[in-house]
Structure 1
Amino acid sequence: MPHSTLAPLTTLRLGGPVGDILNLADPDDWLELVRTIGDRQEDAPLTLGHGSNVVASDTGNEGTVAVMNTRGIAVKRMDDDTVAATVQAGHPLADLVQWAAAEHLAGIECLAGIPGTTGAAPVQNVGAYGQQISDALDHLTVWDWDMGRLRTLPAQACHLRHRHSRFKNHPGRWTILTTTFHLTRSPAAPIGYQPLADELGLHLGVRPPVAEVTAAVLANRCRRGLLLDPHGPDAHQAGSVFLNPPVTAAQAACWSAAGCPVHTDSDGQLRASAGWLLEHIGYRPGYKIAAGIQCSNRRTLTLTAHDGATATGFAQALTELSAQVKIATGIRLQPEPVLVGTWP
C-alpha cells in the first residue's frame, strides 16, 4: 500500500487512515478497478485527483480510495479551426492549458495555473479571469456507479453554473474518466476582466494571442500569491477557502461604497469579494487563526496548514470565519474546499 493515510493525497497534507488505495494510471485498467470494488461489495470509492480542493477527515476513509493518475490528450480535427481535445481525468489542468497555448488553441487560456486535475475541473466548474470550464467543455465520459456502466454526459447535462455542477449535488455517483473540449485555432477570447487587461496593457474586449494571455494570467496569479508552490512556506493549502458570496443589490451598493469589490458572475449574480470581507473584519496575510492554521503569507483568503494542524481544526476555522463575517456584515461565506472521508 503506497500510503496509509489520506494526508499525502491532498495538498493540505491533512487526513486520517484509509482502507485501501487503488492508483489508476492506465485508462484501460478502469474496469479492473470496478471489478475489484465490486468483489469487495463496496459502494463507489472516494475518488481523488491531486486533492487540491479538499479537506480530508482526521477519521479517514474506511472504504477504497481511487486516485486518478491517468494522463494524455487525444486530438480530433472537427473543421479548419476547431479541434476536439479528449483529456484523461488525471491530466493536470495546468499542463492542458499550457499545451493549448503552445498549439494556439483558444478556449481555456485564462485557466492557467489553476491546480488540480482536468477531471476534477467540471465538478467545481473552475474558472478565472472571466473564463470557466463550461465555456469550452463539450462532453464527459463517466462511470455511473448507480447504473454500473460507462456513460457520455453532454456538457448541458452537467448543469454547470458558477462554481457548481450536478456532480456536487450527487457526490460519489459518477467518476469522471475523460473530458472533451472544443478548442479553436484563433486569438484568445475577448478580454473581459480588468486586472487581466491591465496585466496585458490592453483595453477590455481585445483578443490577444492565446500564449500572451496564458503568460499574463500566470504572471498575475504569481503576483497575487495564487500559484501553488509545493516547496514554499504556504505549500500546505487548498487554495481560496471561500467562494465570493452572492449579495443583494442593496448589499452590493452598501459594501461597494465601503470599498468592497463587487462583480457580476457568469450566472448574472452579484458577488462580493470574500478576501476583502475577511480583511474588513481584521484578518491579514500571515494571521494565525488556530493551532497550526493561518492565513497564507501572500493572501488572506488562502489558509495554510502547519505543525499541529488537524482537518477538524481547519473545518472549524472555516465555520468560525464565516460566522464572524455574517455577524459583521450580514453576508454569509460558503467554504470552497469539499469535505471528504468520514466526518462525525
Structure 2
Amino acid sequence: MPSPTLASLTTLRLGGPAEHVLTISAPADWADAVRTIGQRHEQAPVVLGHGSNVIASDAGHLGTAVVMNTRGITATRVDDTTVDVTVQAGHPLTNLTAWAAAEHLAGMECLVGIPGTTGAAPVQNTGAYGQQVSDTLDHLTAWDWEMGRMRTLPTQACRLRHRDSRFKSNPGRWTILTATFRLTRSPAAAITYRPLADELGVPLSARPPVAEVTAAVLANRHRRGLLLTPHGPAARQAGSVFLNPPVTATQATRLSATGCPVHTDGDGQLRASAGWLLEHIGYRPGYKIASGIRCSERRTLTLTAHDGATATGFAQALTELSTQVEIATGISLHPEPTQVGAWA
C-alpha cells in the first residue's frame, strides 16, 4: 500500500508521502499516539489540523504526521455573564464561532469564516477585523515534546503577539490539545475596524448584537474572496500568503500618501497592506506567478495552486514576490503559511 501523502492532508493539495499518519479522533487517543511515536524513536511528529495554513514539502515527511481531529465544546459558567469555553484542538474554528454566536457569547465573532482548527488558532494568534485569539484565550493544554509531559499554559505563557506565539517560534516542541476561552454573554466587542463598521453601518466603538457582527463579517469575507471553498478555481490555497509588514512612522506616512492602507495592530505596531504592496508593483488577481501557481481571481494576496504546481515552486514564488516588493519599496514581506516536512 502506498504511503499517504501530505497533499491529501492540506488545502493546497501539495506535498509528498508521510511515512506514518495517525489520526487523533478522541482525547483518549493521545496517550497511544505518544507511545507509538516514542517506540519509533521520533522526537516530534508533524501535526496538522485542516492543513489550511501550511506548505507541505514535495519530499514529504520521514516520520509520523498526526491529524488532530478531536471535537467537542464544554461550557462552564463563571458568573451571570461570563462563560469559560473549553474546546478540543481538532474542533473547526468556524464551528466554534458559529456556536458562540448562537449562544450570544461575545469575544470571537470577528473570527468567523477563518478556516482551520481551534488548536491551530493560538499558534499564530489568529485574528481578523480587529479581533484576535489573545483577546479571549484564558489558557490551553499542550503536550511538551521536550519535557515529555502535558502542560497547562495560561495566556501570558503563550507569548501571543501579532500572528506569533511561543508555539510558532519553537516549532516541533508543542502540540496543543485543548484551548479555553473566556467569553461574555453580551453585545459584541466594540468595533475597531473601519471596514467592518462600514459593513454594519455603525460608528467605530459601537457594540451591535453578536449575530449581526457574525453575519457582517461573513458577508464581507465572501465579497472579498476570503472564504475557503472546497471546489472551484480557488479551492487549492493557503489563505493570505504574506503577513502585513511592519513599517516605521515615516514609511507609514509615505505609503498612506500613495493610497496604501496602514493600520495599527494589537501590539501597537504600524503595518502596511501586503496585498496593496503586491498590486503596487504590478501583480493583479488572476496573475500567473509560475507554473501552476496564480494569484486568486478575487484577490492578489491569495495564491492558488493548479495542475503543474509543486510545493517547491510555491515556496519559490513567495520568495520571488517578497524580493520584488523589497526591491521596489524597501519593505520586506514575510510568508504566513508554515512549511512542514523535509525541506532542503
TM-score with structure 2 setting the length: 0.99
Alignment of 1:95-106 (within 5 A): 95-106=95-106
Instruction: Check the 8 A contact 1:106/1:183 in 2, yes or no.
Output: yes
Instruction: Check the 8 A contact 2:264/2:271 in 1, yes or no.
Output: yes
User: What is the alpha-carbon distance in structure 1 between the residues aligned to residue 253 and residue 20 of structure 2?
Assistant: 51
User: What is the alpha-carbon distance in structure 1 between the residues aligned to residue 301 and residue 63 of structure 2?
Assistant: 32
Which runs of 5 or more structure 1 residues have no equivalent in the other structure? Answer: none
User: What is the alpha-carbon distance in structure 2 between the residues aligned to residue 147 and residue 281 of structure 1?
Assistant: 47
Structure 2 counterpart of 1:249, which letter? A
Question: Aligned residue for 1:108?
Answer: 108
Question: Aligned residue for 2:228?
Answer: 228
User: What is the alpha-carbon distance in structure 2 between the residues aligned to residue 283 and residue 317 of structure 1?
Assistant: 12
Alignment of 1:233-252 (within 5 A): 233-252=233-252
Question: Aligned residue for 2:256?
Answer: 256
Structure 2 counterpart of 1:73, which letter? I
**1:2 Cα shift?**
9.4
Query: Secondary structure, in 3 states, of the residue corresponding to 1:255?
Result: helix
User: What is the alpha-carbon distance in structure 1 between the residues aligned to residue 183 and residue 145 of structure 2?
Assistant: 30
Structure 2 counterpart of 1:99, which letter? W
Aligned-residue sequence identity (percent) comes to 77
CA change 1:86–1:20 in 2 (3 A) is same
- What are the Cα deviations for residues 219-269 of structure 1, in whole angstroms up to 9, with x where unaligned? 000000000111121000000000000011111111110110001111111
Query: Secondary structure, in 3 states, of the residue corresponding to 1:299?
Result: coil
Structure 2 counterpart of 1:62, which letter? L
Structure 2 counterpart of 1:211, which letter? A
Structure 1 counterpart of 2:80, which letter? D
Query: Secondary structure, in 3 states, of the residue corresponding to 1:27?
Result: coil
User: What is the alpha-carbon distance in structure 2 between the residues aligned to residue 304 and residue 91 of structure 1?
Assistant: 25
User: What is the alpha-carbon distance in structure 2 between the residues aligned to residue 138 and residue 340 of structure 1?
Assistant: 28
Where in structure 1 do 4 or more consecutive aligned residues deviate above 4 Å?
A: none
User: What is the alpha-carbon distance in structure 1 between the residues aligned to residue 62 and residue 264 of structure 2?
Assistant: 42
Instruction: Check the 8 A contact 1:2/1:21 in 2, yes or no.
Output: no
Alignment of 1:174-253 (within 5 A): 174-253=174-253
Structure 2 counterpart of 1:46, which letter? V
Instruction: Check the 8 A contact 1:7/1:56 in 2, yes or no.
Output: yes
User: What is the alpha-carbon distance in structure 1 between the residues aligned to residue 214 and residue 100 of structure 2?
Assistant: 10
Question: Aligned residue for 1:39?
Answer: 39
Question: Aligned residue for 2:151?
Answer: 151
Alignment of 1:153-168 (within 5 A): 153-168=153-168
Question: Aligned residue for 2:138?
Answer: 138
| Matched length | 344
Alignment of 1:1-344 (within 5 A): 4-344=4-344
Q: Give RMSD over aligned pairs.
A: 0.9
- What are the Cα deviations for residues 1-56 of structure 1, in whole angstroms up to 9, with x where unaligned? 79621001000000011110000001111101100111111111110000000000
CA change 1:193–1:2 in 2 (3 A) is farther
Structure 2 counterpart of 1:255, which letter? L
User: What is the alpha-carbon distance in structure 1 between the residues aligned to residue 75 and residue 2 of structure 2?
Assistant: 33
TM-score with structure 1 setting the length: 0.99
